[in-house]
Amino acid sequence: MKLLIKNMVSLRCKMIVRAELEKLGLHAAIVELGEVEIAENLTSKKQKELATALLAFGFELLEDKKSMLIEKIKNIIVEMIHYNDEPPGINFSNYLSEKLGYEYNYLSNLFSEIKGTTIEHYIISHKIERAKELLIYNQLTLTEIAYKLHYSSVSHLSNQFKKVTGLTPSFFKNMKHKRLIARENL
């Protein structure tokens, strides 16, 4: 049985969800960002128990088809930006359409309607948070960060970074108290 779970945005989230499933005696075959495949069919009682257990960690069991689709879009974006160094090979709108089996226009309109922001702005927010994270670690140059996040140039990254944060990447890098936004709050 496939379950969709809202707010699963990191490897730690996957570990927490897997542990909660085990506590309830459920056997997870697959635990991915926002999606879990379990061997059992859930009774309504077990589903309520799982929903309650997940809610304690800020996760939400999804049942509404539109919410499920939005969560899939978000998870594809998070995975692409935070866990994949290779660009998708085609533009993102085509990539998203192919992966989900819907026209991009439909996905874009639905996302904007439900989330109150565009897919493009959501992607930019995640890219900038990832850039901030990489700047804090101080292991990559700005050129390497721009390449890793699939920007066409360092100036493109710098312009977007300043537009979103109000700071230049170099000023941010030199700040003493750097503030990252948790992915689930983006």
User: What mean pLDDT comes out for the span 63-79?
Assistant: 88
- Alpha-carbon dihedral sign for residues 19, 21, 27, 32: negative
Query: Which residues on neighbouring strands pair with residue 38, listed in sequence order?
Result: 28
**What pLDDT is stored for residue 182 in this prediction?**
63
In terms of Cα–Cα distance, which of 155, 181, 179 is closest to 168? Answer: 155
Cα end-to-end distance, the chain, whole Å: 29
- The residue written with tokens 């050129």 in the block is 143
User: What mean pLDDT comes out for the span 93-120?
Assistant: 93
Q: Quote the pTM value.
A: 0.72
Residue 49 half-sphere exposure toward CB, CA atoms < 13 A: 12
**Strand order of the sheet with strand 35-38?**
28-32, 35-38, 2-6, 60-62
User: Domains, the chain, ranges and CATH?
Assistant: 2-63 (3.30.70), 66-186 (1.10.10.60)
CA distance 9 to 50: 18
Range with lowest mean pLDDT among 81-85, 119-123, 144-148, 177-181: 177-181
pLDDT tens-digit profile of 114-126?
Answer: 889 999 999 999 9
pLDDT higher at 118 or 184 = 118
